[in-house]
Each structure stands twice: as C-alpha cells, then as structure tokens.
Amino acid sequence: MRKPIIAGNWKMNMNPDETRAFVAAVKNELPDPSKVESVIAAPAVDITALVDAAKDSVLVPAAQNANDHESGAYTGETSPKVLADLGVKYVIVGHSERRGYYHETNEDVNKKAKAVFANGMKPIICVGESLEQREAGETEDWVSTQVEAALNGLSADQVQQLVIAYEPIWAIGTGKTATSDQAEEVCRHIRETIAKLYDQTTADATRIQYGGSMKPNNVKELMAQPDIDGGLVGGASLQPDSFLQLVHYQD
C-alpha cells in the first residue's frame, strides 16, 4: 500500500561532472518505479546537472534544504520556487546536521515544510534523538514533539504525501546502525503519533524512512519491518554500485 522510497542524501559531496557520471551509471538499472521510488538529494549546486542527467529516467531529483521564502534578501539561501522550477520533487527538511550546525528549530522545519508544499514539492522531514536522549529514555517523547511541530498546520492530505525520516543522530555517519527492532519501535511510534494528530487512514498512508548507516548489508532487514517504508542514506548512496544494491533490496 505504501510505496517504498529509498533516497540518497549526498550531503556536501559530488560536483556536476560526478553527478552526471553517477546518474549515467545508474539510470538504466533502477527498479520499476511502481515497486520502489529511487531518489537522489544532491547539493543545490548540482541540481541542474542532476535533473538534466536524470531526464528520461525514473530517478527522482531531490534537494537537501530550501529556504521558507520564495525570493528576497536571504543571502546564500536556496529558493524552493526555483528548486521546483528546475524539476526537484522532494526536499529534505530538518536534517539533524541542519538542526545541529545551523540551529534550525522545529518552527523553521515547519515553515520549510509548508514552503515546499506551497511550491508543489514534497518534504522529507527528518526527526531523531541524540545518544544522550536515548540513554535517558526520552526518545519517544522527543520524536513525537518533533513530528507534531513539523506537521503543525498541515492538512491530512499533505501529511499523506510527505515522508518522515527517522534518523537517530547517533547512527548517522557513525557506522552504528539502529537494530531493526530499535528502528521499527520508533517508526511505529511516529505512525501512532500521526494517527493521534490526524487519523488512522492518514497514519497508514504516510511513508516513514529509517536513516542512519543504512547499507546494502542491512537494508533488507530494516525494510522488512512493518513500519519502515524506506531509507534515507548518506555514505552508502555515493557509489553507483551501492546505491543500486540499496534500491534493489527486494531482488
């Protein structure tokens, strides 16, 4: 019922030539898009190359961030309107690196999610706890607060179209993957939170990804969990071979 979505988050890696070479290497090998959605979120400076190279393929172009304004005096920022005009379909919002290094708040994440929708794209909203929060038993409360704040003012129809990425901060880029039970527990809690905020139909339709050192050797087990509908993948999405293994996890 929920179509799996595997999204690579390249972070601040790759240049336009590398982007074109990556897409050329994967574009004819991607899975049937009715079975798995294959997404790459490139740096803003590579978006044009990504969209051009992915034309006539099933690879879905995404961005890693956008401002909540469409234009104006916001030096150094990226307009969601221009991203949409270029052909971007998804925008990652509230990645823990943006929350941590650039001080994005839950309110910023909510504004950005709304701006992404206002421009005809869909947000991939990241949530997740630190190691200290996990050890203090605060994970579920923290994550449901992040989800509630991010969705504030969004309609049930919008929530059914967006993607939530559960990314425990302690598992991102560390090689420490959450066990499939740990990941499932929080993804289920996120779905229950959406059901409480909206209704069961909305919760059942919303796709929830796991992110945090997802790799070809653990993707199958994570994707077998009932509330995990996809992956947001950093390091393992940078090589065509490993990205292809991830999107072909069903084979």
Residue ranges of the binding site for substrate:
9-11, 173, 213, 234-235
In the bound complex, which residue of the shown chain has the CB atom lying closest to ligand PEP? 234
Residues 206-245 within binding reach of ligand PEP (CB under 6 A): 211-214, 232-236
| Site size with ligand PEP, rule: CB under 6 A | 14
In terms of DSSP H, where are the helices of the chain? 16-26, 47-54, 80-86, 96-101, 106-118, 131-135, 139-151, 156-161, 180-197, 200-205, 219-223, 240-247
Q: Could you give the CA distance from residue 106 to residue 250 in angstroms, rounded to a whole number?
A: 34
By CB under 6 A, the residues from 26 to 85 that bind ligand PEP are: none
- The active-site residue, picked from 97, 129, 167, 184, is 167
Asked if 167 is an active-site residue, the reply is: yes
Binding ligand PEP (rule: CB under 6 A), the pick from 104, 167, 184, 227 is 167
Choose between 151 and 171: whose C-beta lies nearer to ligand PEP: 171
Q: Which of 173, 199, 201, 250 binds ligand PEP (CB under 6 A)?
A: 173
User: Distance of alpha carbon 217 from its chain centroid, rounded?
Assistant: 20
CB of 13 to ligand PEP, least distance (A): 10
Q: How far is CA 235 from CA 12, 35, 36, 108, 188, in A?
A: 11, 24, 20, 26, 25
Q: Label residue 76 exposed, middle or buried (CB < 10 Å: 0-12, 13-18, 19+).
A: exposed
- Per CB under 6 A, residues contacting ligand PEP are 9, 11, 167, 172-173, 211-214, 232-236
Residues known to be catalytic: 95, 167
